[in-house]
Structure 1
Amino acid sequence: MSPVEKTHSQTRVVLFPYDQLKPGERKLIKVDQLEIAIMNVDENLYAFRNECPHQGIPMIFGSITGTMLTSNPQEYEYGLNNEIITCPLHGWEFELKTGKSLFSPNQVTLLTYDVRREERDIVLYLKRKPENISIIDFQCIPNCK
C-alpha cells in the first residue's frame, strides 16, 4: 500500500510514480469500496468517482473530447478540447476539472478529487483516511481515448 499521511483537513496518499501514468493513460484506484478513476490528459491529472451520476456507469470508459460552445445562430464553434469526459452509455458530458455537467452544472456533477504531481509521484488527497487502497492498471478500449 502507498504511504498515507494526515494533513490538516485531508489525507495525502502517494499512489505511484508519475512515469507510471503517461499522457492518455488511465488507472483505477479502489479506496475501500469506492472506485476513483485517475487520468493523465495532456500532462494534466484528473481524478473523479468512477460512476456516472445518471445511472452509475463506469466513467473510466468515457471518451475525452471537447464540445460545441454557445454561439450565435448558424455559427458552430467547437471548444474545450480534451477538457470534457463523456459518459459511455448516454453521452452525458462533464468538465474534467470541476465535474460539472454541461447541461445542468448546478444540479448534476461528477464527484472530483484533488490529484497532483508532487515531484516524482502522483498524490491523491482524500477527506478521510482509507483502510485499503488498490491500484488497477486499465487498458482502454478503442473508443475511450
Structure 2
Amino acid sequence: MRVKVAEPDALPSGGKLIVNVKGMEIGLFRIGDGYYAWLNVCPHAAAPVCAGPIRGTRLPSGVYDYRYGMEEQVLRCPWHGWEFDLKSGRHLAAGSDAKLRGYPVETDDSGVYIVLGDRKKS
C-alpha cells in the first residue's frame, strides 16, 4: 500500500517531516535527491528519534584536527545522543547492530509516498 505523505519537492535536501501514517509516526528525510523513511522510535529506549537534529560526523584527520563527513546524513536521538546513518538506518557505533526500522519511499510527479507492508531491507 502506497501512502502519499508529501508533495513533490516539499522538502529541501537536509530536510525532514514527521508524518502520521496509519497510526504510526514516521520521519521522512531528504538527502540530495533521495528520500528515506524511518519509524519514529529509537531502538535504544523508544525515544522519538526523528525529532532529533540532523548533522554530519567529525572524522579525525590528525591530532586536534577534525573534518566533517556525511553532512546532513546523521540523525542524533534527542534523548541519549545515539547517532544513525539516515541512508541505511544503522547506528554509527562500531560493532553495534542497532538499526532504525524503515520503509521504502517512492516518488513521482504527483508526490512522495511511503510504501507500507514492505520493511526496508538493508
Q: TM-score range by the shorter chain?
A: 0.7 to 0.9
Q: Indicate the SS of the match to 1:116.
A: strand
- TM-fit CA distance, 1:22: 2.8
Within 5 Å, give how 1:48-127 maps onto structure 2: 48-69=38-59, 71=60, 73-74=62-63, 75-104=65-94, 107-127=97-117
CA distance in 2, matches of 1:44, 1:105: 27
- Listed as ranges, the gaps of 5+ residues in structure 1 are 1-10, 129-145
1:22 corresponds to 2:16: no
Any conservation in 2 of the 1:99–1:111 contact (CA below 8 Å)?
Answer: yes
CA distance in 2, matches of 1:84, 1:16: 22
Q: Indicate the SS of the match to 1:60.
A: helix
- When Rg is computed on C-alpha atoms for both structures, the one with the higher figure is 1
Q: CA RMSD in A?
A: 2.2
CA distance in 2, matches of 1:123, 1:38: 10
TM-score of the superposed pair, with normalisation by structure 2: 0.78
- TM-fit CA distance, 1:41: 4.6
- Listed as ranges, the gaps of 5+ residues in structure 2 are none
CA distance in 1, matches of 2:48, 2:111: 25
Q: Percent identity?
A: 32
Any conservation in 2 of the 1:26–1:40 contact (CA below 8 Å)?
Answer: no
- Post-superposition Cα deviations, 1:102-128, rounded to whole Å, max 9, x if no partner, equal 004651001121113211311111226
What is residue 40 of structure 1 aligned with on the other side?
A: 30
TM-score of the superposed pair, with normalisation by structure 1: 0.67
Runs of 4+ in 1 over 4 A off after TM superposition: none
- Post-superposition Cα deviations, 1:74-107, rounded to whole Å, max 9, x if no partner, equal 1422100000100011110001111000004651
Q: For this pair of structures, how many residues does the alignment match?
A: 115
- TM-fit CA distance, 1:29: 2.0
Any conservation in 1 of the 2:16–2:27 contact (CA below 8 Å)?
Answer: no
Q: Indicate the SS of the match to 1:55.
A: coil
- Does the C-alpha gap of structure 1 residues 61 and 107 become closer, same or farther in structure 2, counting only changes over 3 Å? same
Any conservation in 2 of the 1:38–1:45 contact (CA below 8 Å)?
Answer: yes
